[in-house]
Amino acid sequence: DVKVTQSSRYLVKRTGEKVFLECVQDMDHENMFWYRQDPGLGLRLIYFSYDVKMKEKGDIPEGYSVSREKKERFSLILESASTNQTSMYLCASGLQNTEAFFGQGTRLTVV
């Protein structure tokens, strides 16, 4: 079975902290995604990576950066966490033109 693992299920951080959310997949997928999910807004794409070191901005990249140094790992970085970044963060991976596989999500609270 494909496994997409997010490093934390719940996370509490302070305003201004640098936050790293890690995601690892074990199926050699080219594509990896970071979404945030907020009530009433569905899933919004933050960043997308289609290969090692390759990235594309999604709809809401402001305040975030990403890193993909190895194919299996895609990191989301909040440079200076703010309260409006409190959300559920979902990582996914997949091949082009096929289904995506999701991790269980990280619920981040910024206080």
Partner 1 sequence: SQQGEEDPQALSIQEGENATMNCSYKTSINNLQWYRQNSGRGLVHLILIRSNEREKHSGRLRVTLDTSKKSSSLLITASRAADTASYFCATDPLTSNTGKLIFGQGTTLQVKP
Q: What is the nearest approach in angstroms of partner 1 to the Cβ of residue 31?
A: 5
Nearest to 34 by CA among 82, 68, 10, 1: 68
> Of the ranges 20-28, 36-44, 64-72, 76-84, which one interacts with partner 1 (CB under 8 A)?
36-44
Query: Cα–Cα distance between 93 and 77 in angstroms, integer?
Result: 18
Site mask for partner 1 (CB under 8 A), range 4-33, x = bound: x-------------------------xx-x
Gap between the Cα atoms of 40 and 31, Å rounded: 26
Cβ-based nearer residue to partner 1, 47 or 85: 47
Pick from 42, 62, 69, 84: which binds partner 1 (CB under 8 A)? 42
d(CA 110, CA 81): 7
